[in-house]
A and B are shown apart, each in its own frame.
Chain A
Amino acid sequence: MTPERPDDARASLPGDSDLLLVERARAGDQRAFELLVIKYQRRVERLVGRMVRDVDLVPDIAQETFIRAYRALHQFRGDAQFYTWLYRIAVNTAKKFLLELKHDPTVSESALASKDEDDETFIARNEPSTDETPESTLAAKEITQVIDEVLAQLPDDLRQAITLREMEGLSYEDIAELMACPIGTVRSRIFRAREAISLRVRPMLERQMGKRW
């Protein structure tokens, strides 16, 4: 497993909705920010979980991360991806927590990770993270396998549309040109492809809810 980095393949595609949602949240729409939280909550928790050994601290640090991000939204200029910016806030928040806890005599040393560790080095040297279990690893493999299977079974037009969008990162306009169809059709095909995959994946995800990933 590779260390989580803010700029890896799982980061948002160009032209995604993050910047639009940030602008909307900055204008005072908290709901727009909540969509970003839904999108990145687990990823932030996973990142924090690799810095803090006490898993009970992870949700608190993740929440503090999002609160700080919300208050600092006006500082986000859109030069970098939103998750890159959020990643830095999460790391700094975790470091601050660790520093405060280090001065708390009721907290054992084993609950802390060294705050002096370089982020990337620290993450790499502590693989696998403490919040992963053989069960969760197996579930992830199963879900990945199911998605691949459903994708292979999709009608050609749906598979091509979702592949061009998710794997190639093309815009609807570019896909419409490539597939020689209206943009509305592209939008519909991508939606139907996603729905077909989601129908198979959701029951598997629900079984994993409440379990630490």
Chain B
Amino acid sequence: MSDASHVKEEWVSALVDGELRDEEFARAIVYIEDSRVAREAWDTYHLVGEVLRSGKLETLGHDEIFIERLRRELTSNAHDTVAFEQDRKRLERVNLSAVPAANDSWWRRVAGLASVAFVGILVWQAAQWLGQGNSAGNTSTLAQAPAPAQASASSASSASLEATDSGGAVMLRDPQLDALLAAHRQHGGVTALQVPAGFLRNATFNEASR
């Protein structure tokens, strides 16, 4: 056995043990492919290892006819395999995992925020509607309140109105009424009453104008 041949045979043995790397690894594969003796050595070394490890032999060596047939089959289907491989690589390039799915956490957060915003809008709308309802209630309260003339008719009504005023009711001012009061201060004005109540002032004025 020449030195070169010896080295190559040694590659086969080292390849069996997974101890070849890089250049030697690649050259060993080419050598085994080209040499029937090398393929037999590759097979026999595995067989020897099997016997040494398990103490028995359960399989024979490989079948060259089988290998040749498989090689033809793989080669004839190479186009399919290559096309499949290209599809796979294309999919890998797209990197589907980088595209967030519909159930991705980012989308879930967006959906959650949208839901909260929607509920917020509903609450705001409801609050506005309720606020309008209250205002309408106040208005109707004012509308239903006895007219100042009626209120001044009885002290009980005045007391009631005074109480309403001290409870923080909104005083509606009438510019014409104010002008009239300014012209007839002897009949109206807060100073005419003990309690500086604007609403009762109007009542005082109405009482005087009757």
Contact = CB atoms under 8 A, between A and B. Distances in A.
A195 interface: yes
Interface string A36-68: 011101110010000000000001001100110
Given A17-B18, A67-B74, A198-B48, A38 B53 contact: no
Contacts of B53: 9-10, 13, 166-167
Interface in A166-181: 166-167, 171-172
Contacts of A143: 51, 57
B15 A17 contact: yes
A209 B60 contact: yes
A166 B42 contact: no
Interface residues of B, number: 53
A31 interface: yes
A166 B52 contact: yes
A31 B33 contact: yes
Interface stretch (B64-72, B118-126, B143-151, B187-195): B64-72
B42 A38 contact: yes
Q: Majority SS of interface residues in chain A?
A: helix
A102 interface: no
A202 interface: yes
Interface residues of A toward B: which range?
35 or more
A4 B56 CA distance: 13
Contacts of B46: 39
11 contacts: A24-B25, A34-B71, A38-B67, A46-B59, A59-B66, A140-B56, A187-B10, A197-B48, A198-B41, A198-B48, A202-B44
Given A74-B85, A172-B17, A190-B14, 17 more contacts: A9-B54, A10-B50, A10-B53, A20-B20, A31-B30, A34-B71, A37-B67, A41-B66, A70-B74, A140-B57, A144-B51, A166-B53, A171-B17, A172-B19, A190-B17, A198-B48, A201-B48
